[in-house]
Amino acid sequence: MNALGIKKYSAPSVGPKPSNLSPWFITGFTDAEGCFSISIYKDSTRPIGWRVCAEFLIGLHKKDVGLLSEIQAYLGGIGRIGKFAKDAYALRVNTIGHMVKIIHHFDKYPLISQKHADYLLWREIIMMMQRKEHITPEGLLTILSLRASLNLGLSDSLKIAFPRIIPVIRPKVQVMAVPDGEWLAGFTSGEGCFFVFVSQSLTHAIGYKVQLIFQITQHSRDEILIQSLISYLGCGKLVTSSDSKVQFRVEKFSDNYEKIVQFFGNHSIRGVKLEDFKDWSTVAKLMWNREHLTPFPWGGGPPPQGNWI
């Protein structure tokens, strides 16, 4: 109480709930799902007639909005979460001060996929914007050269408006080993798949066989990174396809049960994919106990063939 006999109350703290995410999880998840965006468009209210907008974005299905909130909390509550597309929400960070905080994170915990090259180009543009160089004709031309090597390059309209722009040389990403188990947990939370296949089999007593598959798919430009997962986890193989995709795939049951289940038991999957992993792990345990070789416990005949999870 104060001198007047009035009891004092402290106001509850306001701010984002604390996050227990690892910084390497944030980086791994961004390697999978993050986007470093630069937009350039005409604006008659600007002295040079063009506006430059930058953004860091992670877009997910609406079922994973909770994970977006966790990521936002880890980043100190910066940015905003809102509807991004049908059934999708996104965390968007698009003010200079907040994007500089994003830079601080990825400078300390660097991306290891080819997305790191996009980040470096984006980072350079943010630094130019912080110095106000984007509002000068010379700065705009430099940003256009950087943007021409970022993501899918310049739009057709920008190519017409600025036909003499020469793209900068895209940064070369040095191949890095997985820096931490939490990086792989984050990357898998974005790009991993846990499959249970049930198919007919003449060699199994009950007429069906069950197979577990763990898989991570990426563009072929990240083939070296995907191949490195084989040595990191001590299992799996590299599978290539004609649509410019590469996969890290684990098909051997003992590897899935003894290595994959154990690894993600120590480095947690996050978001709705955690439920897939839990179901997949339950099936793995049933198979370890050979219960998948017994008649169907629900008594209604065999389950649908194909992918359960």
Q: Where are the domains of the chain?
A: 23-161, 181-307
Tell me which H or E stretch contains 227: helix 223-233
Does the pLDDT value for residue 306 go beyond 90? no
Tokens (6 digits) for 87: 């059934």
**What is the predicted pLDDT for the residue at 15?**
43
Distance between CA atoms of residues 297 and 304, nearest Å? 14
Write out pLDDT tens, residues 8-40: 333 333 344 556 899 999 999 999 999 999 999
With tokens 């480095």, the residue in question is 267
Mean pLDDT value across residues 135-144: 98
Does the pLDDT value for residue 294 go beyond 90? no
The reply to whether 23-161 and 181-307 are identical in fold is yes
Write down the architecture of domain 23-161 according to CATH: Roll (3.10)
Distance between CA atoms of residues 161 and 163, nearest Å? 6
CA–CA–CA angle 50, 51, 54 (5° rounding): 145
218, β-bridge pairs: 246
Q: What percent of the chain has pLDDT over 70?
A: 86
Q: How confident is the model at residue 141 (pLDDT cuts 50, 70, 90)?
A: very high
CA–CA–CA angle 238, 244, 245 (5° rounding): 40
- Among 19-23, 125-129, 204-208, the minimum mean pLDDT is found in 204-208
Q: How confident is the model at residue 228 (pLDDT cuts 50, 70, 90)?
A: very high
CA–CA–CA angle 269, 271, 274 (5° rounding): 45
**What is the predicted pLDDT for the residue at 242?**
82
Single-letter amino acid code for the residue at 56: F
Mean per-residue pLDDT over the chain, rounded: 89
CA distances from 207 to 16, 290, 295 (A): 54, 15, 10
pTM: 0.87
239, β-bridge pairs: 247
**What is the predicted pLDDT for the residue at 302?**
54
Single-letter amino acid code for the residue at 59: G
Does the pLDDT value for residue 57 go beyond 80? yes
Nearest in space to 209 (alpha carbons), one of 222, 196, 194, 228: 196
Mean pLDDT value across residues 159-166: 97
Write down the architecture of domain 181-307 according to CATH: Roll (3.10)
Render 158-197 in DSSP notation, one character per residue: HHHH-TT--PPPPPPPPP-----HHHHHHHHHHHEEEEEE
Distance between CA atoms of residues 126 and 102, nearest Å? 11
Task: Write the CB contacts of 120 (distance below 8 Å, at least 6 apart in sequence).
Answer: 171
Distance between CA atoms of residues 161 and 141, nearest Å? 11
